[in-house]
Amino acid sequence: MIRIGPRLKSYSWGEHDSLPRLLGVEDPGGPVAEAWFGAHESAPSTLEDGGDLAQFIATDPAALVGAERLPYLLKVLAIASPLSLQVHPTTEQARAGFDAEQARHVDVAAAERTFRDPRHKPELIVALTPMR
């Protein structure tokens, strides 16, 4: 078993202390909207030895997960204010959109970028507290 730690994401719509308190991690101050657990290249989980999960998997992906990355990203959200509606692409749409932006040399971090990776984003919501 490998113990992983979350990557906290700060967005204006997040709560101020719920996620750090829930996860037993240091409160960075300000809103913390999401805690990510997984090997997503933009915010891979931390490892106890100071490394990150994506780098660890890259050492021997076939033996560790059977692929180059984990096939999921678990996000725990703490929502303090309404969010915009999000629509996620199918696998085919994600690949085509990502490839098109790569061909146009749009930086992955650019604000005008729509497809930051070539994967679809299936989602499931489980509310831990009342939500509307």
Q: How confident is the model over 44-91, as pLDDT tens digits?
A: 999 988 899 989 988 988 888 876 666 678 999 998 888 877 788 999
Whether the per-residue pLDDT at 96 is higher than 90: the answer is: yes
Question: Quick count: other Cβ atoms within 10 Å of Cβ 18?
Answer: 21
3-state secondary structure of 62: helix
CA distance 80 to 16: 8
Beta strands per DSSP E along 20-125: 34-38, 46-47, 73-77
Question: Quick count: other Cβ atoms within 10 Å of Cβ 26?
Answer: 8
Question: Quick count: other Cβ atoms within 10 Å of Cβ 37?
Answer: 21
pLDDT of residue 85: 73
Give bridge partners of residue 5 from the DSSP assignment. Answer: 46
Overall average pLDDT of the 117-129 stretch: 80
pLDDT of residue 126: 77
pLDDT of residue 67: 65
pLDDT of residue 70: 65
The residue type at 9: K
Which of these, 8, 33, 65, lies nearest to 54 by C-alpha position?
65
pLDDT of residue 110: 94
Give residues with Cβ within 8 angstroms of 7, minimum separation 6: 35, 36, 43, 44, 45, 46
pLDDT of residue 68: 60
pLDDT averaged over the chain? Answer: 88
Segment among 4-8, 9-13, 45-49, 62-66 with least mean pLDDT? 62-66
